[in-house]
Structure 1
Amino acid sequence: MPIPRSALTLGLAGLIPFVWGALTLLVPSLADFGLEVLGPRFVGPYVQLSYGTVILAFMSGVLWGFAARAGGARAATGYALSVIPALWAFFMVGGGPVSAGMNLIFGFLGLLILDAQFARWGLAPDWWMRLRLLLTAVVVACLSVGVFL
């Protein structure tokens, strides 16, 4: 089953803050433009870190929704696992842009593992992992610019 066009389009649109943050680190003129027009919160690692934190919390909600499709012990396990990305973001994102960026990378890679488990349990749509692999690859690449540049 192909990824539904709306899910793919919105998923790709959700990458814009990550890509923009990476571009403002790589292209000084874009950083200057962003600082003048958008302000310092919306350039470099700052936009990536704040948005990445929000997205990990959002994805906890998505996993909670998958858990709601299960029953019994599997549902309880799913609910417990679903809160991990939000708690990870809350406790691990801070302490400077490099460590926060690295912790977000670990958070998104851990989220991918959780996505795979929910898919194995049959709680996610058939196309879910194809979408999540694509989005996670771009997110990790963009965050890596801020961490390793």
Structure 2
Amino acid sequence: MAHIPRSALLLGLAGLIPFVWGAITAAFPDLAMWSVRTIGSRLTGPYVGLFYGAIIMSFMSGVLWGFAARATGMVASTGYALSVIPALWAFFMTGGGPTSAGISLIAGFIGLLGLDWLFWKQGLAPDWWLSLRVMLTVVVVACLAVPLV
């Protein structure tokens, strides 16, 4: 796998901040109370990770759509169809409360990694894509798991 461009790496790592903040505020009740008073409950504990996770799943659908646009014929058609799955997953699977939504998002991000691999394997994603996505997915899944334990 190729070297991850610095800008992609830094932006990817910056995109982890809401997930990490959600995990930290879920693990430390005093920090969670401060966060609720200061920035609100939606940006504290599991809620920030769940809300942001649904947004990122939808964003990743757009990224995969862009990869599909690099293909032709049946590969493109299949790629377009597969690219909408993360957004639909987030829409339909995150409404049943924080525990089930967290479990669904964890499953969604693991499934998304499979789609990342497929697009990468087909040569539609950059050479470095899978290296970046594995690293980010491990952190996202770990952060989403914190409120569940």
Q: Which residue in the other structure is 1:113 paired with?
A: 114
Q: Which runs of no fewer than 5 residues in structure 1 stay unpaired?
A: none
The alpha-carbon deviation at position 87 of structure 1 amounts to 0.4
Q: Which residue in the other structure is 2:20 paired with?
A: 19
Instruction: Give the AA of the match of 1:46.
Output: Y
The alpha-carbon deviation at position 7 of structure 1 amounts to 0.3
d(CA) in 2 for partners of 1:119, 1:28: 41
Q: Which residue in the other structure is 1:29 paired with?
A: 30
Q: Which runs of no fewer than 5 residues in structure 2 stay unpaired?
A: none
Matched residue SS, 2:75 = helix
Matched residue SS, 1:70 = coil
The alpha-carbon deviation at position 107 of structure 1 amounts to 0.4
Contact 2:27 2:147 in 1 (8 A): no
TM-score scaled by structure 1?
0.98
Contact 2:50 2:105 in 1 (8 A): yes
Q: Which residue in the other structure is 2:43 paired with?
A: 42
Displacement over 6 Å in runs of 4+: none
The alpha-carbon deviation at position 16 of structure 1 amounts to 0.5
Q: Which residue in the other structure is 1:92 paired with?
A: 93
The alpha-carbon deviation at position 36 of structure 1 amounts to 1.2
1:70-124 Cα shifts (integer Å, max 9, x gaps): 0000000000000000000010011110000000000000000000000010000
Instruction: Give the AA of the match of 1:52.
Output: G
TM-score scaled by structure 2?
0.98
d(CA) in 1 for partners of 2:58, 2:125: 18
Q: Which residue in the other structure is 1:133 paired with?
A: 134
Instruction: Give the AA of the match of 1:109.
Output: I
**CA-atom RMSD in angstroms:** 0.6
Aligned residues: 148
d(CA) in 2 for partners of 1:143, 1:6: 25
Instruction: Give the AA of the match of 1:69.
Output: R
Q: Which residue in the other structure is 2:8 paired with?
A: 7
d(CA) in 2 for partners of 1:9, 1:21: 20
Q: Which residue in the other structure is 1:51 paired with?
A: 52
Quote the sequence identity (%). Answer: 67
d(CA) in 2 for partners of 1:146, 1:81: 29
The alpha-carbon deviation at position 5 of structure 1 amounts to 0.4
d(CA) in 2 for partners of 1:125, 1:142: 26
